Structure 1
């Protein structure tokens, strides 16, 4: 299991992506990567603000981050996620991710569990 806290700027995230690719090529067992990737994967993972240019089994809130501004300046994004390889899925195919409510942070808490 690996945990990620990615940089906010695309250029600063590139070394993380390269490291994850390198790791994935060397891991033969089950592997999960989770945390704050600081990027959305689909247009639907953002609400509010300027349109986003994208880089190339979840329950709970659709969004995991908020800029905590009053409407109409509120922006919501899904920045936190869990990724896993097929070996992980073969062993733990009932893995679920639950995004909890945003409480004292700008990020929602995430809990993972095997069921």
Structure 2
């Protein structure tokens, strides 16, 4: 049973200088949160690297490096995510269109020990220009942990959920394909270098989504073989 859990919801300033104060606050908080699970989520208004941007943006290598340094110093890691590859869009079209991954969930080691299968979904935006984030996962009961594998375990909920993830991955592939089709349509119309870069970004995301689905299919096939035995 989990005791104290620390959760922080934040909003990062648009400007780099004020954001440094937020990074400092996170570093200070991390020094006092050593044992309990810690989740930090929200709109950080920062990206980790160029792969989290599609379009012409003003993000500098310095601001990205400072964000990465903050994550490293606090001992936080990114939770795995599915859904939209970018969590914010500037609601513009053509050459001015811009996608970024500004929203995320970060956790510490204690969180991963308590919820090792936790992840989050980046859903499609509705009333906001940001994607809502949906946390998923189940708590691991350390007193009843299982350390051996038997074929009958493949029929338990954890393994069934693993196979059900294929449905989520399929949706990711479809969504990535829609992004790619839209980008290719824009490039065919406007012939801008920026849109060509966007097409390449979307192609990379689409390719990665397909690879993830293939890996999951292989895992599901292996489970099916184990069940047959």
TM-score by length of 1: 0.94
**Offset at residue 50 of structure 1 (A):** 3.9
Work out the CA distance in 2 between the residues paired with 1:71 and 1:109.
25
Report the counterpart of residue 49 of structure 2 in structure 1: 42
Contact 2:57–2:98, Cα closer than 8 Å, also in 1: no
5+ residue gaps, structure 1: none
Number of residue pairs the alignment of both structures matches = 115
Report the counterpart of residue 32 of structure 1 in structure 2: 39
Work out the CA distance in 1 between the residues paired with 2:94 and 2:102.
20
Report the counterpart of residue 98 of structure 1 in structure 2: 121
* Superposition CA RMSD, Å: 1.2
5+ residue gaps, structure 2: 1-6, 66-79, 139-229
More strand by share: 1
Q: 2:130 aligns to what SS in structure 1?
A: coil
**Offset at residue 106 of structure 1 (A):** 1.1
More helix by share: 2
Report the counterpart of residue 8 of structure 1 in structure 2: 14
1:64-75 equivalences in 2 (<5 Å): 64-75=87-98
**With CA pairs under 8 Å and 6+ residues apart, which has the higher RCO, 1 or 2?**
1
Q: 2:22 aligns to what SS in structure 1?
A: helix
2:108 counterpart of 1:108: no
Q: 2:96 aligns to what SS in structure 1?
A: coil
**Offset at residue 52 of structure 1 (A):** 3.3
